[in-house]
Amino acid sequence: MKETILEIQNLNKRYGKIHAVNDLSLKIKQGQIYGILGPNGSGKTTTLGIILGVINADSGSYKWFGQTPNAATRRKIGAILEHPNFLPYLSAKENLKIICQIRNVPYQDIDRVLQIVNLSSRSRSLYKTYSYGMKQRLAIAAALLGDPGVLILDEPTNGLDPAGIAEVRALIRKVASTDKTIILASHLLDEVQKICTHVLVIHNGKKIQSSTVEEIVNNGYKVEIEAADFINLRKSAEESPFIKSFSGEGNKLLCTLEEGKTAEEVNQYFFSKGIVLKQLNPIHQSLEQHFLALLNDD
């Protein structure tokens, strides 16, 4: 059993009429790459702000590593919140020294993290001369200082060009392969699907769903089927124990299957009913379709 890294219980935060975080609970275990997915303004950053000690929750609690959180527990977490925050009139290296000093990490580690994010050659340039992509990469470097076991990345690919996005994602995957726990907030479905193992979908501060990414992609697995005898096809589909729902279009039926059922079993079933399928197309639902469906339901 993997150790629980973060546990959030019934967290609430209001800004006037807006319920930014609404009774949110979650549990993150070691080694998970946990995506927090939601449209802009859904409460992702507020939630992260609370668990990082900069925003006070109205009610609810959270624990890091099973402990009541304090400044010392935060030193074991590398985090970016919203946008890169550095002093513009200092060089990248000087800015990272401040982080080292706070976390009690030797300055030698600076060269290592700058190498990882490919900024070694610009380490002496003033932060204000950096492009947005470089600032974002420096923020990731800062989060990596001291090699913390947990990384929190809030929209880490925001403002990056396509090459930068690919680079950062590769970087996250590389870091993730070392059994680190990563919490990634994003409004980009594609990003979460490509990187994360687990996902929490939030909207208007409320948890809509939490599961593994695999479950979502495989959940509501659909097949499109076609047979010459459409009336019988429809009737058998209705009687089937594992077709949750279906809709007809021309001679074709689009069936949503129970979890765990495969196209093979569908074929077998209809054959046993004396129907020969002319066509059988498995349709994988992307996280995007699932996400949009969830938001529409809400």
Partner 1 sequence: MINYFTIEFLKIRTYKTVWILLGIFILGFALGGSALESMLNKTITDNTSGSLIPLPGFSLYLFPSVWQNLFFIAGFVKLFPGFLFVMLVTNEFTHDTIRQNVITGMSKNQILNSKVVMATSIALITTLVVFLIALTNGLIHKTPEIPFGTLFQKLEFVPAYFLEIMTYLMVCLFFALTLRKPIVAILSMLVYSIIAEPIIAYKLGASMNQFLPLKAAANLIRIPRTTLMEFFGYEFQEYVAGKDILICLAYCLLFYFVLRLIMKRRDL
Angstrom CA distances, 191 to 36, 152, 164, 198, stand at 11, 15, 13, 12
Q: Does 228 bind partner 1 (CB under 8 A)?
A: no
- Between 141 and 160, how does the x/- string for binding to partner 1 read (CB under 8 A)? -x------------------
CB of 152 to partner 1, least distance (A): 9
Q: Does 54 bind partner 1 (CB under 8 A)?
A: yes
Residues 6+ apart with CB under 8 A from 23: 10, 11, 12, 60, 206, 207
Report the candidate in 74, 73, 34 with the shortest Cα–Cα distance to residue 195. Answer: 34
8 Å CB contact between 77 and 65: no
As a whole number of Å, the CA-based R_g of the chain is 24
Q: What residues between 69 and 98 interact with partner 1 by CB under 8 A?
A: 70-72, 74-75, 79, 81-83, 85-91, 94, 97-98
Q: Does 61 bind partner 1 (CB under 8 A)?
A: no
Q: Does 38 bind partner 1 (CB under 8 A)?
A: no
Q: Does 60 bind partner 1 (CB under 8 A)?
A: no
CB of 263 to partner 1, least distance (A): 48
Q: Which two tokens stand for residue 169?
A: 């994602």
Q: Select 94 or 224, whichever has its Cβ closest to partner 1.
A: 94
User: Residue from 28, 52, 196, 287 that binds partner 1 (CB under 8 A)?
Assistant: 52
Q: Which two tokens stand for residue 70?
A: 């304090």
Report the candidate in 37, 142, 47, 38 with the shortest Cα–Cα distance to residue 100. Answer: 142
Q: Which residues bind partner 1 (CB under 8 A)?
A: 49, 52-56, 70-72, 74-75, 79, 81-83, 85-91, 94, 97-99, 101-103, 142
